[in-house]
Amino acid sequence: MKNNLIKLSNTINDWYTENKRQLPWRETTNPYIIWLSEIILQQTRVDQGISYFNKFRTKYPTIKRLAEATEDEVLKDWEGLGYYSRARNMLATAKFISSQLNGVFPDNYNDILKLKGVGSYTAAAISSFAFNEERAVVDGNVYRVLSRFFGLSTPIDSTEGKKEFQKLANNLIKFQEPSEHNQAMMEFGAIQCKPKNAECEICPLNHECFAFQKSLVGNLPIKEKKAKQTKRYFTFLICRDNENILIQKRPESGIWANMYEFPLLESKSSEEQHKIILEKEWLSSFTNTNTKVTHVSETQKHLLSHQQLFARFIELELGELQKIENNQLIIKQQELKNYALPKLLVNYISEREDLLYLLNDN
């Protein structure tokens, strides 16, 4: 068993020195910059996160500068990346370190683990990359490499599986430099031992790999839970007068927490949603004056990891804009681009020629 561990460790380490990508966060040991990259990369592909990383590093070069930002501002910078609680936790942690820790990022695994938004993976990543602490990262890549190489069929999303794989990873890290080893394991999983179409024919471990020898590469790792999807039916009202537009802030829990949106009617079914369009009784809520419906959209399907959204947009022009509910804001149309909007809304605006000006500068 120990020989297998050494073989795996040495081979992947050698593979890494030959095949690693140049990634911007690998050029620093600044724990703040590494933390920034790791939060962005949680459940996010490198290719998707890299432009956000560059934007944040440039705009917020120090943790103090990040701590001075507002939540609205950080959410706007995070717009389009998803899992927005990451941005809110990140800002809260920056404020905490800036005010309570004298701006000094914690320098060890246990203290890093206490930070909001940082779990066992991220604490291991930061403490190994920035401080070369011997803490093994176990992310989706590591689960895949270990389960295939050793033929481990314990579900990786079970408590037992998490303990088993973490323990194995802890044993495996002892043979190399911690930072290099962690980087190598993840890079190997991302480039070579991929979820689909793993390149086993050219894999330096294919002789020792249990999954390859038993033709089980496509079956490992094993997950037991499947996220069930719920359907939701949204009707957004885009209300404008000559210069203003109506928006509202979303609740602090649920999807798109604390972001902004157009006034929203939610229906329990597709039929009920369709009635909104037909009956237009909601129009009476605008009471007086010249309210014109200028456009009613087709249904836009928007997929989240656990919800299917069926959204329609009704575009209205009013003589003078007024709030329908108290929590709403009347803002200048040219200010809309400063508010963090869900991608669903950005997508719709950008596809409608009549609305596109709302996203542009001036």
Partner DNA sequence: AACGCGGGGCT
Partner DNA sequence: AGCCCAGCGTT
Residues annotated as catalytic are 38
DSSP 8-state symbol, 279:
H
Spatial separation of the C-alpha atoms in residues 17 and 14, rounded to whole Å = 5
Chain residues that interact with DNA, rule: CB under 7 A:
23, 25-26, 37-38, 41-48, 80-85, 89, 115-123, 139-141, 143-144, 158-159, 183, 186-187, 189-190, 195-197, 221, 223, 225-228, 230, 253-257, 302-307, 342-344
Q: Which alpha helices (H) appear in 101-209, and where do they start and end?
A: 109-113, 120-131, 140-150, 159-172, 178-191
Spatial separation of the C-alpha atoms in residues 234 and 87, rounded to whole Å = 25
For 311, what's the count of Cα atoms within 13 Å in the CB-facing half-sphere? 24
CB of 66 to DNA, least distance (A): 17
In terms of CB distance, is 59 or 301 closer to DNA? 301
State which H helix or E strand residue 35 sits in.
Answer: helix 31-41
Spatial separation of the C-alpha atoms in residues 233 and 235, rounded to whole Å = 7
In terms of CB distance, is 69 or 87 closer to DNA? 87
For residue 159, CA distances in Å to 162, 226, 227 come to: 5, 16, 17
Q: SS3 for 116?
A: coil
CB of 356 to DNA, least distance (A): 17
CB of 107 to DNA, least distance (A): 17
CB of 284 to DNA, least distance (A): 31
Spatial separation of the C-alpha atoms in residues 282 and 159, rounded to whole Å = 49
CB of 333 to DNA, least distance (A): 21
In terms of CB distance, is 196 or 207 closer to DNA? 196
Token pair 């000094």: residue: 104
In terms of CB distance, is 219 or 289 closer to DNA? 219
In terms of CB distance, is 159 or 288 closer to DNA? 159
